[in-house]
A and B are shown apart, each in its own frame.
Chain A
Amino acid sequence: DAKTTQPNSMESNEEEPVHLPCNHSTISGTDYIHWYRQLPSQGPEYVIHGLTSNVNNRMASLAIAEDRKSSTLILHRATLRDAAVYYCIPGLGNTPLVFGKGTRLSVIA
C-alpha cells in the first residue's frame, strides 16, 4: 500500500492562499492522488484528484510533483468555511480508498 505523510495541523489567515503538502513516496505509476476534506460534524467530501498533470477545479488546485512522490493541495483564498481535516489518499486501483489522519487546517479571521 502506498503510505502518505501529511502535517498533523496547519494554520492560515483568512483570504490568504494555503498550500497543504502530502508525501506519497511509494505510490505506484497507476495510482491517482485523491484529496478529500471533512468539515466538522460531517462526512468527508471530495475535493480533487489527479494522476500526473496539475489539476484545477472550483474548490482547489492540485500540484503533482514530476516524480509523483508528493503533491500539494492549494486553496487560493482560504475562508473560515475551509477549516477542516484534509486527507491525501493514493488510489490503489481495485481496493477501497484508505483514509489516514489528514491535516487539520485552522483558518484565522
Chain B
Amino acid sequence: SQTIHQWPATLVQPVGSPLSLECTVEGTSNPNLYWYRQAAGRGLQLLFYSVGIGQISSEVPQNLSASRPQDRQFILSSKKLLLSDSGFYLCAWSEGVGETQYFGPGTRLLVL
C-alpha cells in the first residue's frame, strides 16, 4: 500500500531564516505531487504541483519554491521566511492530475 511522509511535524523559525520541508511517497511510481498551505482558520491553497522529476508548476507567486529531485520526493523551500509564511503545510500525491489525492500528516510552521 502507498504511504506518504512529511517532516518535520512542527517547526518554529525566525523571520528571514531558510526553510526546507520534505515529503516522500512510498509504494507507487511516478506519482503526481502537490504542496498546499492552510493558514489558520482558512482554506487550502495549492502552492505547487509536479507531474514528474524536475517538473514543477507554481500556482501562487511568492517567496517559496519547490523541487523534485527524485521520483517520490518533493521539497518545499524558502530562502527567507516571512511572518505570512506561517501555516499548515500539506503534501499530497495522486496517480494522475485531477484524480483522487492522498494527503500526508502535514507540517505546522510558525514564523516568529
Chain A residues within CB distance 8 Å of chain B: 32, 34, 36, 42-46, 49, 91-102
Q: Counting chain A CB atoms within 10 Å of each CB, which of B32, B98, B104 scores highest? A: B98
> Within 8 Å of chain A (Cβ to Cβ): is B34?
yes
B:64-112 near A, CB below 8 Å: 90, 92, 96-106
> Within 8 Å of chain A (Cβ to Cβ): is B19?
no
> Within 8 Å of chain A (Cβ to Cβ): is B44?
yes
- Residues of chain A within 8 A (CB-CB) of B36 are 99
Say which residue of A34, A42, A93, A95 sits within 8 Å of B100 (CB atoms): A34
Whether A97 pairs with B106 at a CB distance below 8 angstroms is no
The docked-state distance in angstroms from the alpha carbon of A94 to that of B34 is: 14
Whether A102 pairs with B43 at a CB distance below 8 angstroms is yes
Whether A96 pairs with B103 at a CB distance below 8 angstroms is no
Whether B105 pairs with A96 at a CB distance below 8 angstroms is no
Whether B44 pairs with A99 at a CB distance below 8 angstroms is yes
Chain A facing B: main interface SS: loop
B29 to chain A, nearest CB (A): 19
Q: Show 25 A/B contacts (Cβ-Cβ < 8 Å), sorted by A.
A: A34-B100, A36-B101, A42-B105, A43-B90, A43-B106, A44-B44, A44-B90, A44-B101, A46-B100, A46-B101, A46-B102, A92-B98, A93-B97, A94-B96, A94-B97, A96-B34, A96-B46, A96-B49, A96-B97, A96-B101, A98-B46, A99-B43, A100-B43, A101-B43, A102-B43
- Residues of chain B within 8 A (CB-CB) of A42 are 105-106
The docked-state distance in angstroms from the alpha carbon of A99 to that of B43 is: 7
Whether B98 pairs with A96 at a CB distance below 8 angstroms is yes
The docked-state distance in angstroms from the alpha carbon of A20 to that of B46 is: 24
The docked-state distance in angstroms from the alpha carbon of A91 to that of B103 is: 17
Q: Counting chain B CB atoms within 10 Å of each CB, which of A36, A44, A100 scores highest? A: A44
- Residues of chain A within 8 A (CB-CB) of B34 are 96
- The answer to whether residues A45 and B103 also contact, given A94-B97, A94-B98 and a CB cut-off of 8 A, is yes
